[in-house]
Amino acid sequence: MKALALLFALFAGAAAALAQGAQPGPVLPAFYDVTGVAADDVLNLRAGPDSSTPVVGALPPDARGVEVLSLGGNGRWGLVATAEGASWASMHYLVRQPGQPGDRLPRPLLCTGTEPFWSLDLRQGKALFERIDSAPLRLLPVWEGSPEGRPPLALGLRLEGEGAGIQAVVRREPCFDEMSGRAHGLSIAAILSGALGDGMLLGCCSLNQGP
């Protein structure tokens, strides 16, 4: 329960920063690599966006593909996704990986939800939807974009294939999966149609470096 309370506190701080317009710089979430840390040292992960807060973990000096969810502390600290949830790292020691535009959905992207358990694995030019009560379904993206005249904080997506369709809105905002305990920087609302039946699914999305 203590870990759960800590995660809620971390996300509350990130959400407050977003609401106050305190997230300058690049569009997130995005992958970063650790830089400038000595080979015999580590990059500390902290409970809050301040060097006076407790150390709760560490990243190796050659860590790559660190998912930064949001910024805090006037942009000096990044909320980093970890297996245990999320914690804060100094952005001074993190460099953004190239090729991550902010005006469209990142790829690859893995979105998941519970009750029922489902997943949507988005790759370049294709997607795989799986649900506990049905066979995997391959879909193709037919449209993707952001609201006209608005920043890309919300992105729309339409997928079609094999007599089925999914229309989804993905938002750049803190999202918490209580079952897995993992922190995410994107939420998703997906409307199903056709062979998938009529329904709506809610879940969270994370950047995915899997094969």
- Please answer whether residues 43 and 92 qualify as being in contact, where contact means their C-beta atoms are separated by less than 8 angstroms: no
Residue 26 CB-density burial (10 A; 0-12 exposed, 13-18 middle, 19+ buried) = middle
Rounded to whole angstroms, what are the CA distances from 211 to 23, 35, 62, 92?
31, 25, 21, 30
This model's pTM is above 0.85: no
Question: What percent of the chain lies above the pLDDT cut of 70?
Answer: 87
Give residue 3's pLDDT.
40
Per the structure block, which two tokens stand in for 188?
A: 């998703």
Name residue 18's amino acid. L
Name residue 154's amino acid. A
The pLDDT tens digits of the residues spanning 94-118 come to: 999 998 888 888 889 999 999 889 9
Work out the number of other CB atoms within 10 angstroms of the CB of residue 135: 6
Q: Which helix (H) or strand (E) holds 188?
A: strand 183-194
- Please answer whether residues 174 and 184 qualify as being in contact, where contact means their C-beta atoms are separated by less than 8 angstroms: yes
**What are the pLDDT tens digits along the chain (211 aa)?**
334 343 444 444 444 444 333 444 688 999 999 999 999 999 999 999 999 999 999 999 999 999 999 999 899 999 999 987 899 999 999 999 998 888 888 889 999 999 889 999 999 899 999 999 889 999 999 999 988 887 778 999 999 999 999 999 999 999 988 777 788 999 999 999 999 999 999 999 999 765 5
Give residue 209's pLDDT.
60
The pLDDT tens digits of the residues spanning 30-59 come to: 999 999 999 999 999 999 999 999 999 999
